[in-house]
Structure 1
Amino acid sequence: MASNGAAEKFYLEKEQLQADSDDEFQYEEVPVDEEFIPDEIENLDVTVRTIRESQEDLEAGLRKESTARPSVTHEPEVVDDFVRNFLVRMGMNRTLDCFQTEWYELQQKGLLHEEDVDIVPDIYARNQDLDNEIKFLKKEVDKYRIAAIKAKETYVKLRKERDYHRMHHKRVVQEKNKFIDDIKRLKRHYQQYEPTLHQLKRKYEVAMKEKMLAKLERDRAVGQVNGLQSTLKSMESFKGTSSTSLQGSRKGDNQDKLGPTQRALAIEREKRMEEDVGLLPEDFKRYPNDSEFPIDTGVNPYLSQSKAPPSHLTRTGGFRLSHTIQAHSHSVSGVALHPRKQILVTSSDDNSWKMWAVPSGDIIMTGEGHTDWVSSCDFHPSGAKLATTSGDTTVKIWDFSKGECVHTFTDHTLAVWNCSWHSCGDFLGTCSMDNTSKIWDLNSLRCRFTLRGHTDSVNSIQFVPFSNTLITSSADKTLSLWDARTGLCTQTFYGHMHSVNHATFNLRCDTLASCDSYGIFKLWDVRNGSEMVSVDIGPHPANHVAFDPSGSVLGISSNDSTIKMYEVASGQVTALYGHEDAVQCALFDKSGEFMVSGGSDCTVRIWS
């Protein structure tokens, strides 16, 4: 088929086709440029116009570009070619021969009109394209349907989760609002009690103070009555016959006022008393082995030997950890230094005490005999004996020369916390959870006095050096001074708001230090009974306090595994770190050159 562009007419050219040319000829594949193919072809005029416009555009592009771009157009096939192609594609060769014979015959006769040999109507090609598009769209619809189903399932799941979380959020908000209302209501309720609590607290403190004062007055009065009664008895025993007859006449006057039975009993009582007194010697003593308290001179021979510590110690509290002894399998509760030798004794919750060489840490002796934890230990002033206290309510005296326990005191009814030797070595003071302290006589092996007055556990006791005075600290928040000769309380210190764990004197005996269970330690002026200094190193409890020999540095054992060093002159507080658990006790050497401490980490540490 050829075309004349100028006349815009089309002519058919006759071509002779061989029988099997379609099968023998190899057609060359021509690439099609989709850019120049229109999407829809309505009729032949539109097609021709489109082709011409494409050619014009191509020529304009060729003029603009140096390189030529090839163009390929697709010519629609005519009716006879369409029929031939269809028959060939269907393999209908005989029908094709018949069709060609009849077609060329009619063509030669001129019976075919121009519209009969025109191109194939576009509807067939359009139908084929639409069929392909329908198949493609069906596949896309199926794909989108599956995606929609999955999206719907996800949406339903997310909506359920949203509803669940929304309901949970509402419930949490309701509970929060309820708790807020309850807290506000309780806060208003508690605020109503606060003034009453403050008032009751003040009343309680006043009542406790009055109670302690009343007990002290009672104890003082009882002591005076006992002294007067003993004086009267001694006077009655050694009176002459004249005084006896005078008393007999007076008693006779009194007996006249009594009934018959009471008068007979009084006569028999007088006879017994006269016979007993007559049999007793003039130098009679009820307890002949009792020791006599030494005269209280108030002179401390160690005071002249004390010297000021080195400047680096007073400036920084500068002890440094030098040795560590793995002493016990349980917490170390107490330490004591030998009065003359480099020997250390430790007590522990493992029911035993041990003796060590310092600073080498070599073990010398072990004492076992208590059935419960050993709370404290103290060397006899001579260094030949040791006293230990325990949770089994006993106090034991150990003799190193015999290597055994020589006596056990069992008068306490609850755990015994602490012990302290008198400087003469004949008396031992102990304190207990049974609210009492006792003074033991080591010669007569009996309790000379029971110190009553504290209303709660007595946590520590100490003899003032070379004196007959003791200091006790108690869980009733007070400190008390006692006269060991009479067993009477001479002074009470008020000021702590919590249980007092320990108290001690400096070497001059003019300053008293104490610490409590809330980490507060205080310094007291003994002469006027007033508080000098109060320092809070809490909130961890302070377990033990100790002065160095010069009295210028105070060591406080704390539950926070440190030892606080307080400089009395400057008020500076520094901490010594080394223990891995609570520090239960610390003690300075008499020379002030080193310090030993024991803690709940089962170790004893030496600081120098």
Structure 2
Amino acid sequence: MADEQAYYIEKHEIPVDSDEEFNYEEIPLEDDYTSVVEEDLDTALRVINEAKGDAEAANVQGTQLERSILTTRPEVVDDFVRNFLVRMGMQKTLNTFQCEWYELQQKGAIRDDYSTDVPDVYTQNGNLETETKYLRKEVEKFKKAAMQAREAYVKLRKERDYHRMHHRRVVQEKNALVTEIKKLKAHYASYEPTLRHLKTKYETAMKEKMLSKLEKDRALGQVTGLQNTLKNIDALKDTSSVGAPPFMPAPSQRMCKKGLELSVDENGLGPSQRALVEERKKQEAGKDMANAGQQKKHENDSEFPVDSGINPYLIYAKNSPGHLTRTGGFRLTSTYQAHSLAVSSIALHPRKQIIATTSDDFTWKMWAVPSGDLVMTGEGHTDWVSSCDFHPSGGKLATGSGDTTVKIWDFSKAECVHTFMEHKHAVWGVSWHACGDFLATCSMDNTSKVWDLNSLRCRYTLRGHTDSVNSVQYVPYSNTILTSSADKTLSLWDTRTGLCAQTFYGHMYSINSATFNTKGDTIASCDSYGNLKLFDVRTLGQLASVDIGPHPTNHVSFDSSGQLLAVSSNDSTVKMYEVSSGKVTSLIGHEDAVQATLFDRAGEFLVSAGSDYTVRIWS
């Protein structure tokens, strides 16, 4: 039906093109194409980029052309008024204006000149006003950015100046240290000839000693032989007096006997025997005189007490630490600035709630705890004061200093009553004997000394450590002292003889502090790499080793129960170590390295002092 009703105006047939009937012409390759193919990758990329740039430039030109072609139709007066009212938000006025405008327009009351276009100046003013607002906003934004950039610049400049100043200070310190090292090297080099001479003398003395020992043994053998000969002669005399000798001697024996009878004295000794006996007597007389010289004592020397004293503080060892029974442990209760420089050590008065502190500002002070009231100040050292310890009676104080001296201060006289000056380098520690007549000190000169307070002289110099002796402490109510050294060892010394009784090994770094517990059976020590170790005095074995580093540890102290350790650390904290459980906690409060800690007798509070010039009380 559809084909029958179709009406054609004109009919044409379009032949189908075939690719096979079309003749293609061969286009030869040109030289330019060959050169393009042979170009490298960089050239191709450059050509592509140039093409992209040309295309973008063409697009920009086209856009500008389109913008130039477009014409802006100016607004008429009524549209301008409407837009103004809309922009200002005057809706009621807009409605009123439209009503009146259309009403007047219908009535024909509006003249043709009222419907003309608005002058371009108003349009331009509006555009300029809009652009001005936009630019003001941009100016404010850039102003804020400029202020921030200025603040950042000022901050960076201050940091640069600070680091520059710090760098200069470090360079100055480095130069000063280099100068000091050169001086020390020169100083040590000046001692080399003396050391070689002393070594030669020592070797010579040892050889003479060995020779004298051999001579002594030879003389003793000769004397023993002579004594046996004399016994035989006496036996012969006894038999001759009886008249019936038990045997007939051989001819050679008879000749010897005859010769002896011709030259012996009334004691039965010949000339050579008499000479040997006289020489032996002289040697024994010289030995007796030497022993008498060694045992010669000063008339005011004190006698060491019998090593059987009872520690009255053992009663506290039965109690458990207070902080283990209270919730939360120790808390910081008071802080006060004790000195103008770092506080180096603390000591507790044996009878009163008073502590003594020493500092790098060349002074020591006494404070009432826990109130923090200043009791007394001592000045007299010419360098930093490293340590202090109260006399057992509480009436005196001993201090050691970097000026190589040890001073004894009497509170009743309010002055220094004596100064010991035999140490060659800085004094690191002091400790009183329980009897109060002896004082032990340790020094950077690798020695410890025992001083007699009655004769005011050094009784013994304890030599054995090969590096600085950093701490010293009398074992409670005994004649034994404990020393720790930078040679990584601990030593026990008998102060009655000045001999080393035992040495403990185990630390790998310089030991800064060591102490005994109240019972005197356990030693705790800490080193410069933050390692804490416990040793058993009875078995000489290591009980525990704890790494609380990596910051150095400066001081260690037991509480009265012996179950809790306070360790001063360079990370501005006090490490609390529980011996039974091995648990480690930290007391945070100091602003710089902690140099010393101390428990009171009853374990109610802990006192700590540090490089932030303060003393803090934890209770």
Aligned match of 1:415: 426
Aligned match of 2:276: 253
1:368 corresponds to which of 370, 379, 391: 379
1:538 corresponds to which of 545, 549, 562: 549
1:427 corresponds to which of 438, 463, 469: 438
Cα shift readout 1:564-596 (whole Å, capped 9, x = no counterpart): 001111111000011100000000001110111
- The letter for the 2-side match of 1:456 is D
For 1:473 and 1:311, how far apart are their aligned partners in 2? 29
For 2:510 and 2:501, how far apart are their aligned partners in 1? 21
Aligned match of 1:579: 590
C-alpha displacement of 1:299: 2.6
Q: How many residues align?
A: 352
Q: 1:271 to 1:591 in 2, by over 3 A?
A: closer
Does the 8 Å contact 1:375/1:388 carry over to 2? Answer: yes
Aligned match of 1:505: 516
Cα shift readout 1:412-446 (whole Å, capped 9, x = no counterpart): 00000001000110110000000000000111111
Does the 8 Å contact 1:394/1:416 carry over to 2? Answer: yes
Q: 1:273 to 1:466 in 2, by over 3 A?
A: closer
Does residue 402 of the first structure (1) align with residue 413 of the second (2)?
A: yes
C-alpha displacement of 1:286: 3.0
For 2:279 and 2:432, how far apart are their aligned partners in 1? 55
Cα shift readout 1:491-513 (whole Å, capped 9, x = no counterpart): 11100000000000000111110
Structure 2 unaligned blocks of 5 or more: 1-69, 71-205, 207-212, 214-268
Does residue 290 of the first structure (1) align with residue 301 of the second (2)?
A: yes
Alignment of 1:451-466 (within 5 A): 451-466=462-477
**What is the percentage of aligned positions where both structures have the same residue?**
70
For 1:397 and 1:325, how far apart are their aligned partners in 2? 27
For 1:397 and 1:554, how far apart are their aligned partners in 2? 30
Does residue 351 of the first structure (1) align with residue 374 of the second (2)?
A: no
Cα shift readout 1:503-543 (whole Å, capped 9, x = no counterpart): 00000111110000000000111101111100001010010
Alignment of 1:229-240 (within 5 A): none
Does the 8 Å contact 1:330/1:601 carry over to 2? Answer: yes
CA RMSD, Structure 1 to Structure 2 (Å): 3.1
TM-score (structure 2 length as normaliser): 0.54
Does residue 332 of the first structure (1) align with residue 343 of the second (2)?
A: yes
Q: 1:249 to 1:319 in 2, by over 3 A?
A: farther
Tell me which moved more, 301-310 or 391-400. Answer: 301-310
Q: 1:350 to 1:311 in 2, by over 3 A?
A: closer
For 1:519 and 1:366, how far apart are their aligned partners in 2? 33
Cα shift readout 1:368-387 (whole Å, capped 9, x = no counterpart): 11000000000000000000
TM-score (structure 1 length as normaliser): 0.54
2:604 corresponds to which of 589, 593, 596: 593
Cα shift readout 1:304-334 (whole Å, capped 9, x = no counterpart): 2445245643577711111112000110000
Cα shift readout 1:444-495 (whole Å, capped 9, x = no counterpart): 1111111111000000000000011111000000000111111111111100
For 1:499 and 1:360, how far apart are their aligned partners in 2? 36
For 2:502 and 2:338, how far apart are their aligned partners in 1? 39
For 2:325 and 2:463, how far apart are their aligned partners in 1? 40
Q: 1:251 to 1:340 in 2, by over 3 A?
A: farther
Q: Secondary structure at the match of 2:298?
A: coil
Aligned match of 2:312: 301
Cα shift readout 1:211-253 (whole Å, capped 9, x = no counterpart): xxxxxxx9xxxxxx9xxxxxxxxxxxxxxxxxxxx9x998842
Return the index of the structure with the highest Cα Rg: 1
C-alpha displacement of 1:357: 1.1
Q: 1:273 to 1:432 in 2, by over 3 A?
A: closer
For 1:255 and 1:424, how far apart are their aligned partners in 2? 48
Does the 8 Å contact 2:475/2:481 carry over to 1? Answer: yes
2:527 corresponds to which of 495, 501, 516: 516
Q: 1:312 to 1:356 in 2, by over 3 A?
A: closer
C-alpha displacement of 1:285: 5.2
Does the 8 Å contact 1:317/1:574 carry over to 2? Answer: no
- The letter for the 2-side match of 1:253 is L
Does residue 556 of the first structure (1) align with residue 579 of the second (2)?
A: no
Aligned match of 1:485: 496
Q: 1:251 to 1:401 in 2, by over 3 A?
A: farther
Q: Secondary structure at the match of 2:315?
A: helix
